[in-house]
Each structure stands twice: as structure tokens, then as C-alpha cells.
Amino acid sequence: MSENVSTKAKNLLEDNHQQDQDKKVLELLYKLNNKIENIEQKQTDILVELKNVSNTIFDPEKGLYARIKYIEHINANVNSERMLILEQDINQLKKWKSSITKALWVIVPALGSLIVKLIWELVAARVH
């Protein structure tokens, strides 16, 4: 009977040891399952954020590409308006230059003649 009791005690100890190991394995599996669930949740969050970024870039009405296209269109219009204004300014400057050049062709010889006449009169007055 003593052997029977020691065998039972030994079996109980082995069962307790096995139960402790089972508990440890179950705890590890529970922790592993929690970590996997966290990873899945983070993947879902990342996919949502990625979709938001994609919409921000590619949305045909409010996306980054739509904004860039709109700005390029505005810049093209502004640049062509600026070019027209610059061309008009250049044409006005050319006309002004032409007018001034014609006026100078009249004024410079007249001034030259007046200067020559004044010098002639001064020289003639000193000679007499």
C-alpha cells in the first residue's frame, strides 16, 4: 500500500507539473494571440491611412494632382497675359524711341548750328 500511495503521490506531482506546464503554454499562447491581434489592428490602421494618403494625392477634385493641374492652368493664363502686356510695353517703348530719335535728328543739328553761330559771333566780335 505504501507503494500505491507513493505512486499516487508521484502521479499527482506529475499531473501538477503537467498542469503547470499547460498553464504556461496557455499563457504564452494567449500573449501570442494578443500580439497577433495588435498587429492585425495596426495593419488595418495603416491601410486606412494609406487609403487617406492615396485619396489626398489622386482625388480628381481635391487631390494633389488636381491642385497642381489647376495651378499650372492659372499660371499658363497669367503668363500669357503677362507676355501680352510685356509685348505691348515693348511696342510702346519702340514707338517712343523712334519718336525721340526723329526729334533728336532735328534738335541736335539745330543745337550744333546755334553753337557754331555763337562761336562765330564771339570770334567775329573779338576780331572787330
What pLDDT score was predicted for residue 10?
A: 67
**Full pLDDT tens readout for the chain, 128 residues:** 556 766 766 676 677 777 888 888 889 999 999 999 999 999 999 999 999 888 888 888 888 888 888 888 888 888 888 889 999 999 999 999 999 999 999 999 999 999 999 999 999 888 86
What pLDDT score was predicted for residue 5?
A: 63
Beta carbons within 10 angstroms of residue 59's beta carbon: 13
What pLDDT score was predicted for residue 3?
A: 64
Q: Do the Cβ atoms of 90 and 98 come closer than 8 Å?
A: no
What pLDDT score was predicted for residue 105?
A: 94
Q: Do the Cβ atoms of 40 and 46 come closer than 8 Å?
A: no
Domain extent listing, the chain: 1-58
- How far, rounded to the nearest angstrom, does the alpha carbon of residue 39 sit from its chain's CA centroid? 33
3-state helix, strand, coil in the chain (%, to 5): 95, 0, 5
Distance (Å, whole) CA 18 – CA 12: 10
Distance (Å, whole) CA 24 – CA 100: 103
